[in-house]
Amino acid sequence: MKKTKFFFNFLMLSMLVSLLASANAFAELPITVADALKKAGIPQANVAVYVQAVDSSTPLISHNADQSLNPASVMKLVTTNAALDLLTPAYRWKTEVYRDGEVKDGVLNGNLIIKGYGDPSFKAQEFWRLLMRLQQAGIQEIKGDLIIDKSFFAENPANLAFDSEV
């Protein structure tokens, strides 16, 4: 954990220092960044950057800052670091299963409701384990619906980020 956290912190600090070192109060992209984008064939219109010192209200770099784009892969480092700090590596997401009817002679007379919380590791194997636990609980047949409760992922259509994806 300490090595992983150190690595992410070191990587983030290195990227920030190199960006700030080349950003002597640029309103737009530094020429080195613009040249690198051009060399890579990436249009500047497809890039959004905003860098601001914590103790200042003036941005060091502001390029397409009001444009919503998908986050760069490097942003995954930020979220991974935050997850490791806040949740710890031992954290496990939960998947809840409810029923709204009675079980009699192995038959659930009602609906089976599954509520997930975004478990990135939930795969087919976990689904089969879930089915086995239902069978162990005495449910062999469901006379009702299978309901997927998505309420944890409330949609906010007023905030269309990520290139208008909801």
pLDDT single digits (tens) 103-149: 999 999 999 999 999 888 888 999 899 999 999 999 999 999 999 99
Range 25-40 average pLDDT: 81
Which of 39, 64, 87 is where one domain is finished?
87
pLDDT of residue 107: 97
Confidence band, pLDDT 50/70/90 cuts, at residue 25: very low
pLDDT of residue 24: 46
Range 21-41 average pLDDT: 75
* Domain limits for position 128: 95-153
Q: Give dist(CA 93, CA 87) in Å, integer.
A: 10
Range 87-106 average pLDDT: 92
Q: Give dist(CA 40, CA 25) in Å, integer.
A: 25
pLDDT of residue 105: 96
Closest CA to 65 of 50, 43, 47, 45: 50
Residues 9 and 69 reside in one and the same domain: yes
Q: Give dist(CA 145, CA 110) in Å, integer.
A: 7
Residues 105 and 45 reside in one and the same domain: no
Neighbouring C-beta atoms of residue 74, cutoff 10 Å: 10
Helix (H) or strand (E) holding 96: strand 95-99
Instruction: Give yes or no for residue 162 having a pLDDT over 80.
Output: no
Residues 83 and 141 reside in one and the same domain: no
Residue 159 resides in a domain: no
List pLDDT tens digits, range 43-90.
Answer: 998 888 888 889 988 888 889 888 888 777 777 888 888 888 999 888
